[in-house]
Amino acid sequence: MVPLMTTTETIINLWYYVGEDRQLIFTLAGRAYIAKGTDEEKIALLQHLAGTDYPLAIRRLVPDRYVSNYAGKMMTAVAHITERDNPATPLFEEVYQAIEEDLIKIAEAHNFPVDDFKIPDNPLFIMTALYKDDYGEIHVLGT
């Protein structure tokens, strides 16, 4: 029997785009991968891809339930997200749903078992902050 920590599973890269002040989140994104190896190897893979794969990610605006209108500007109620927050956080609910819908379409198109492509209840993931500079270039926060 293969140890659970080395099984193939769906893992997730999550991104959140912050404004210039780096205080408010305005867009969320996510992408799934199917990977095999130890948790440490999967995390290393996600970290490696986090700086390059965000253009291919599914994007969603922060859900309205987290947004309030203050002085005519849209501001999120969430100031920041730290890595390793609860992956079931409602903030990313629409992103997770969109990712899973795409995974199911892929499974169906290739006659793979749909259940193998569903996002697990507690997926392995990392979150990465991104921001757009004055020249329109996207940067990973902290690099």
DSSP symbols for 40-62: HHHHHHHHHHHTTSGGGSEEEEP
Average pLDDT of the residues in 9-24: 83
Most confident of 34-48, 86-100, 126-140: 34-48
Average pLDDT of the residues in 5-14: 82
For residues 44 and 62, what is the distance between their CA atoms, to the nearest angstrom?
A: 27
What pLDDT does 84 receive?
A: 44
3-class DSSP state for residue 3? coil
> What pTM does this model have?
0.80
Average pLDDT of the residues in 58-86: 60
Average pLDDT of the residues in 130-140: 85
Average pLDDT of the residues in 43-51: 94
Count of CB atoms within 10 A of residue 16's CB? 24
For residues 104 and 115, what is the distance between their CA atoms, to the nearest angstrom?
A: 8
Tell which residue, 77, 79, 95, has the closest CA to residue 87: 95
Which DSSP string corresponds to 69-127?
EETTEEEES-----TT--TT-GGGHHHHHHHHHHHHHHHHHTT--GGGGSPPSS-EEEE
Average pLDDT of the residues in 57-74: 72
